[in-house]
Amino acid sequence: MTDEAIRAAKCYAQAFFAHEASGHDAHHTMRVYRTARRIAEREGADEATVALAALLHDVDDAKLSPQTAETLGNARAFLAGQGICGQEAEAVLTAIREVSFSKNGATPPSTLEAACVRDADRLDALGAIGIARTFAFGGSRGRMLHDPTGADAGSSTQHFYDKLFKLKDMMCTEAGHQMAEGRDAVLHQFMDEFLAEWAGER
């Protein structure tokens, strides 16, 4: 697997997500890619596998491409087009398959490379960027910012309790866990301030 395949995957992802504005845009993919590479370097994972899996991790997402979500058809076709097949392709596809929160939850990843990409994707749901993405996603689905009655189970603030506050302790690598600490603190500071302003206390 070459630098050329990584360059091609960047172009492919940029084109794939060109019209996506629900938090799954090309910038998300590029942030996950950069974070995953940092984690891979610190963990001693195979960097090419991690790089390609990070760049391709959302091209078969069930929300964006339901018809290929099971087969990972888009990622598979891209890799084949680059002449990447057999074990090399399977390593990338395994990492992609094991990223998803909804599909894998707390099940540990089966490879170090999958752990790096999963942590990088989860880190992008934390911190300032994670806050922005949560409200952008909620807006794209017509959800309320906040519902103090708790009746709207899909409000954007509810998502912090359902998922985001749990992610720090679900990191799979030591490097990912360290990076999650600061971003998790940002989420808690934000929620404290949000609730205080909502209640008219500040």
- Rounded (10°) angle between helices 3-16 and 47-56: 10
- Shortest distance, CB of residue 79 to Ni ion, whole angstroms? 18
The residue from 43, 46, 58, 184 that contacts ligand ADP (CB under 6 A) is 58
How many beta carbons lie within 10 A of that of residue 3, not counting itself?
Answer: 9
- Shortest distance, CB of residue 141 to ligand ADP, whole angstroms? 7
Binding-site string for ligand ADP from residue 122 to residue 161, where x marks contact by CB under 6 A and - marks none: --xx----x--xx--xx---------------x-x--x--
Note whether 102 and 84 are within 8 A (CB): no
Note whether 77 and 11 are within 8 A (CB): no
Rg (CA), the chain: 17
Q: Does 25 bind ligand ADP (CB under 6 A)?
A: no
88 or 116: whose CB is closer to ligand ADP? 116
Alpha-carbon distances, residue 137 vs 85, 128, 166 (angstroms) = 35, 14, 19
Q: Which residues contact ligand ADP by CB under 6 A?
A: 23-24, 58, 63, 101, 121, 124-125, 130, 133-134, 137-138, 154, 156, 159
